[in-house]
Structure 1
Amino acid sequence: MKLLIIDDETRTRELLKNYIPWDTVGIDEVETARNGLQALEIAMEHKPDIILCDIRMPKMSGIEFASQYRETDPDCPIIFLSGFSDKEYLKSAIQLKVFTYIEKPVNLNEVRDVVESAIRLRKEEQKRKEEERKLQEGYDHSLPYLRQEMVRRLVSNPESPHVIPALRSRETFLLPAEGPFTIAVSSLYWSPFNLPEDPGVTQLRILEAISSCYYFNEMKALAGFDSLNHLVLILPGEYGSTYRKGRAEIEDVFSELRVIAGPTVDIRIGIGQTVFSHKEIPESYRMASLACAYQYYSSGSKPIFSDALDSHAPVVTNWEEVRMMRDQLRKGHVDEAKRIVGEWTAYARKQRDLDILRLKDTYFQFLIAIMETAVQLGLAEISKDTERRYMWKEIDRIPSLEELEQYVLSFLDAMAEPSDDEAGAGSGKMREIMRYIHAHFHEKGFTIRAIADHVQLSETYLCAYFKKHSRQTIKEYITDTRMNKAKELLSDQNVKMIEVALLIGMTDANYFTTFFKRNAGCTPSEFRERAAR
């Protein structure tokens, strides 16, 4: 703790500083000042925990000093020293919340005891503030979750008996007790190359930013993600699709969301019809969700209002089309397969199915047919369930029908015979892939997925692409790279076996031995003995 002693008498300052064992009461730093003016400068710099201050001093009195310093630290215990205990002084001391006062001439034991009491008070106050800070931090951290839970209840079961009583806490849930309300639903898309793959991480960041955003707090907007990972905003007020009805404010909401989400997140937003009671919120939410889904078919990303929805109908996988694609690929007719995808996209755009998961599943079936045919033709490895799940994850991140079509066509491009120009570009891409493998194959966490992210290709497409251009799988190439490095290291008798394993990316010496024998036909020790002859 720090103590500041202020007195215009040099003898008193020195007596108080040097003849009281301050360390025994918890004071480890003592500063002195000869008047209030000098004390202000010292206090601003050193931030004392306790102040001993004479009442009568030239240039600036103790009362004037305390009055000014209270603006900086309203809680610092101030102990006045005075030989003049008159009524006016006592009034000023009370107004300034002075801890106590000691009459001069001072008694050192009395001063020590009073300061010790002030220290206890200061510590209690600091402890109380720290507890309040932790409680506030806990509240601030939980606030986005509380609001999200309220959003989920309002869009699913607003007549739950717990909803209305909870909404009375306006500080927590912001919304007014009565409508009108307008619901906005946003779909968010991002690549794990730019942001964490786990949506919860990005969602929490966005919710915390909205919760602390002055704009949304002034608007009294309630935000949360629904069970489908859509961002839902419940906005107090009536907003429509024309600027006369508040379209400009909705565009401002959209702009604020884009700033909060950041440039690597693609946001689409749909606006439901205005409702006037809590029990109508689920219907507005449903319409806002449909309006948001409608944006999957548009090239722009401006807000779409539910009253702008045109006719829409479901799409269903056409298994005859899938079979035709498989047959065309087996014959090597990649262009015909592309034509089938293009026609399907034209059909999907006409239908405008607002169940986007159902739409994506039809393209996923085309992808499965492409990959199965690529395996049969020797252009890809056997497709596993894990690869199918990975392909679905990639499809789920695609924000528009146009990009969904391009994603599927990219797999067909991998199966087409490259032109001279494409072959040259392919050689450059292959060199980039191979350089990355040679630079990182020994590192912990090295995976085919890491290579795919680096060259910005899907993992499945990367495998097919590599097999087509090198006539071996990417896994075989990585194995060859590791084996060549292992043989080089084993030729040096000074390199220990475990060091060889670590240098090719394996932490288990037994596994390294199994791996080496499977690929070289002998154990690492046997290879080293032969190399030494």
Structure 2
Amino acid sequence: MKLLIVDDETRTRELLRSHIDWEEIGIDEVRTAHNGVKALSEIQDWLPEIILCDVRMPKMDGIEFAHQYRLSAPQGKIIFLSGYSDKEYLKSAIHLRALTYIEKPVNPVEVRSAVEAAVLLCLEEKKKFTVELQVQKDIDQSLPYLRQEMVRKLISNPASPHVGPAIENQETFLLPLKGPYTVAAANLYWKGIAHPEDFSLHQNIILDMINRSQRFSSLQVIAGFNWHNQLVLIIPGRFGNAYRDGRGTIEELFSELSQIAGEAIELRLGIGSSAGSLMEIPEAYNDAVRISAFQYYHDQNIIFFDSIGPSGSIDTHWDEVRRLRNHLRKGEIEEAKAALKEWTRYARTCMDLDILRLKDTYFQFMLAITETAVQLNLVEHTEDTERRYVWKEIDNIPSLNALEKYVMNAMDELFTAGLGEPKDVNIRKMQMIIRYIHANFHTSGFTIRAIADHVQFSETYLCAYFKKQQGQTIKEYITDVRINKAKELLGDMSMKLFEITVQLGFTDAGYFTTFFKRYVGCTPSEYRERILR
């Protein structure tokens, strides 16, 4: 802690500086100044917590200096020294929140005691401030989850006895106590294999960024994920499809939400009906979920509830699956495509709002396509893991048009693309793939999707094509590349393990160790010991 002694008397300054053991009471550094002007220059770069200051000094007295000091250190501690019992001075000292007042001639014991009290007060205030900062940090970190829980309560049971009292705390829950409210539901589609196994981490990041957004806060919007990984927004006010009804505000929210979600996620936002009160929010939420499902049949980023039409249900027609399979067996690719287009027209007339059920019908077509390709020896046998991979791709397709295109591309790639091409064309393609893997396997943006984009294949076709040409899966090949490179780097004894980890594209040395041991049978350190032998 720092102490500045300001006094125009040299003897007093030196007495106070030299004859008190400041370190013993927690003062680490002591400086002096002979008037207020000099003291102001001292505090510019070196801001002391405690000031021991004479009142009567030439050029600038202690009262004026203290005023200036207070501007830069509102919580600083001031102890005045004076030989004058002046009532006006005492009033100024009170106004400046002086800690105490010591009459001259000074008594070092009394000064030491006053400064020690100031030190203890500073320490107590710092401790309190640290606690308050931690409490505020904890509150800030918990706000997204508190608001998510409130969203879940409001869309399921707003009559809960806990909702009413909690919503009155507008600092926490933002929403005004009276409606109307508009409920929106956003579907998040992960592009390519960026789709994470665990949604929770990404959801927490998105909620935290929404919580920090000035736009969302100013509109008093609260957000939370429902139990089906949809992002639900509760927005004060009524919003409709026309700009005069607030569409512009919804577009601004969507734009910021897209930036928050990031490039790896494609966002679709369904705007439900308005709720006049908290009790009507569950109905408005159900409307938002319905319109977000209805949106699957429209290639629009934002769709409003008044756009919704009649809907039915759709189930897999096995005769249609068999018909498509028979066309493929006979080499009637165009006829198979026509059958798929016919199914898409039928799906659009059904307008089933159970999107998983709709996707399953196309998944069955995909299974028929891949199984037929295996029977015709166009690709290797399809394992269960590859089936899950296909479903993962289908589950992240954001519209019916894109879903049809995905299955169409699979037919093209498995039954026509590259299969009739000369051998040297396939060799060049494999060279492109392998060179790309070797050049980029260690980079942060390296994915199977990135490889597929580089050679203009879909991920599904790339996996099948690579296995047919190379005799192993592309994932197995990438693993071999990483292991061989790891062995090469481990042979350089000057390289540290974390440096090797980075060069191989891993973010965590512990994960690299686990990966290496799984495929080599020993840890990187054990492998090095074997080399040294």
Q: Distance in 2 between matches of 1:359 and 1:99?
A: 75
C-alpha separation in 2, matches of 1:356 and 1:329: 27
Give distance in 2, aligned partners of 1:276 and 1:482: 61
When residues 145 and 506 of structure 1 are mapped into structure 2, their CA distance, relative to the original with a 3 A threshold, is: closer
Closer/same/farther in 2, CA of residues 133 and 324 from structure 1, 3 Å limit: same
Name 2:86's counterpart in structure 1: 86
d(CA) in 1 for partners of 2:416 and 2:85?
102
Q: What does residue range 434-513 of structure 1 map to in structure 2 within 5 Å?
A: 434-438=434-438, 450-456=447-453, 460-468=460-468, 470=469, 472-474=471-473, 478=477, 506-507=516-517, 511=521
Give aligned-pair identity as a percent.
51
Q: Which residue of 1 aligns with 2:47?
A: 47
1:342-383 superposed Cα distances (whole Å, 9 cap, x missing partner):
222232233322222221111111222223233334444443
- How big is the shift at 1:439? 5.7
Cα deviation, residue 429, structure 1: 4.6
SS at match of 2:274: coil
Residue in structure 1 matched with residue 503 of structure 2 by the alignment: none
How many Å separate the matches in 1 of 2:334 and 2:60?
91
Which residue is equivalent to 2:204? 204
The change in CA–CA distance for 1:382 and 1:124 in structure 2 (over 3 A counts) is farther
Contact 1:334–1:415 (8 Å) recurs in 2: no
Cα displacement string for residues 67-104 of structure 1 (whole angstroms, at most 9, x for unaligned residues):
23223322121212222232112211222211112222
Match of 2:497 in 1: none
Change in Cα spacing, 1:4 to 1:343, as seen in structure 2 (3 Å) is farther
Corresponding residue number in structure 2 for 1:69: 69
Deviation at 1:155, TM superposition (A): 0.7
Contact 1:326/1:369, CA 8 A, preserved across alignment: yes
Render the CA deviation track for 1:27-59: whole Å, top value 9, x for unaligned.
Answer: 222233333333334323222222222222233
Deviations 1:167-225 (Å, cap 9, x if unpaired)? 12222112222221111111122336668653323322222222222222222222111
Instruction: Give 2:502's aligned residue.
Output: none
Aligned in 2, Cα 1:31/1:366: closer, same or farther, shift over 3 Å? farther
Contact 2:466 2:474 in 1 (8 A): no
Match of 1:348 in 2: 347
Partner SS state of residue 189, structure 1 = strand
Q: How far 1:284 moved relative to its partner?
A: 0.8
Q: Deviations over 1:93-146 (max 9, x none)?
A: 222211112222222232222212211111110000110110111111111101
Provide the rounded CA distance (Å) in 1 between the counterparts of 2:139 and 2:424. 59
- Give the whole-Å Cα distance in 2 for the aligned partners of 1:483 and 1:115: 65
Q: What is aligned with 2:324? A: 325
Aligned residues: 497
**Secondary structure of 2:275's aligned partner:** coil
Residue 401 (structure 1) aligns with? 400
Tell me which residue corresponds to 1:37: 37
- Give the 5 Å matches for 1:120-269: 120-191=120-191, 198-269=198-269
Structure 2 SS opposite 1:70: helix
Q: Secondary structure at the match of 1:272?
A: strand
Letter of the 1:405 partner, please give it.
E
Letter of the structure 2 residue corresponding to residue 112 of structure 1: R
SS in 2 for 1:185: strand
| 1:506 CA displacement | 4.2
Deviation, 1:320, is 1.5
Q: Retained in 2: the 8 A contact 1:182–1:275?
A: yes
State the 1:408 CA deviation: 2.1
Partner of 1:314: 313
Q: How far apart, in 1, do the equivalents of 2:47 and 2:117 lie? A: 19
107-116 or 87-96, which deviates more:
107-116
Equivalent position amino acid for 2:271 in 1:
I
The DSSP-based 3-state class of the residue aligned with 2:316 is: coil
Do the aligned partners of 2:181 and 2:274 also contact (CA within 8 Å) in 1? yes
Letter in 1 for 2:224: G
3-state secondary structure, aligned to 2:239:
coil
Q: CA deviation at 1:63?
A: 1.7
Please say if residues 433 and 451 of structure 1, whose CA atoms lie closer than 8 Å, have aligned partners that are also in contact: no
Rounded to whole Å, the distance in 1 between the matches of 2:400 and 2:447 is 27
Q: Structure 1 residues 333 and 480, CA, compared in 2 at 3 Å: closer, same or farther?
A: farther
TM-score calculated relative to the size of structure 1: 0.83
Contact 2:373 2:415 in 1 (8 A): no
1:349-428 aligned within 5 A:
349-418=348-417
**TM-score, scaled to structure 2:** 0.83
1:354–1:480 distance in 2 versus 1, CA, 3 Å: closer
Q: 1:385 to 1:18 in 2, by over 3 A?
A: farther
Letter in 2 for 1:244: R
Deviation for aligned residue 1:262: 3.6
Whole-angstrom distance in 2 between the partners of 1:423 and 1:293: 46
2-structure distance, mates of 1:324, 1:379: 20
Displacement, 1:453? 4.8
Q: Give the letter for the 2:232 counterpart.
A: V
31-40 vs 159-168, which moves further: 31-40
Aligned partners of 2:438 and 2:218: how far apart in 1? Answer: 55
Judging changes above 3 Å, is the alpha-carbon distance between structure 1 residues 238 and 478 closer, same or farther for their aligned structure 2 residues?
closer
Q: Secondary structure at the match of 2:71?
A: coil
Q: CA RMSD in A?
A: 3.6
* Distance in structure 2 (CA, Å) of the matches to 1:451 and 1:507: 23
Aligned partners of 1:436 and 1:451 also within 8 Å: no
Task: Determine if contact 2:369/2:411 at 8 Å carries over to the other structure.
Answer: yes
Alignment of 1:13-24 (within 5 A): 13-24=13-24
**CA offset at residue 485 of structure 1?**
6.5
- What SS class does the counterpart of residue 57 from structure 2 fall into? coil
The more displaced of 181-190 and 126-135 is: 181-190
| Residue pairs, 1:257-296, within 5 angstroms | 257-296=257-296
CA distance in 1, matches of 2:105, 2:192: 74
Question: Retained in 2: the 8 A contact 1:437–1:478?
Answer: no
Please give the alpha-carbon distance, in whole angstroms, between the structure 1 residues aligned to 2:212 and 2:475: 51
Task: Find the residue that maps to 1:273 and give its secondary structure.
Answer: strand
Gaps of 5+ in 1: 495-501, 513-524, 526-533
User: 1:482 offset after TM fit, Å?
Assistant: 7.0
Q: Which runs of 5+ in 2 are unaligned?
A: 494-511, 523-529
Question: What do residues 231-251 of structure 1 show as CA deviations (whole Å, max 9, x unaligned)?
Answer: 111122222233333333333
Q: Which amino acid aligns with 1:507?
A: K
Deviation of the 1:16 alpha carbon: 2.5
SS at match of 1:227: coil
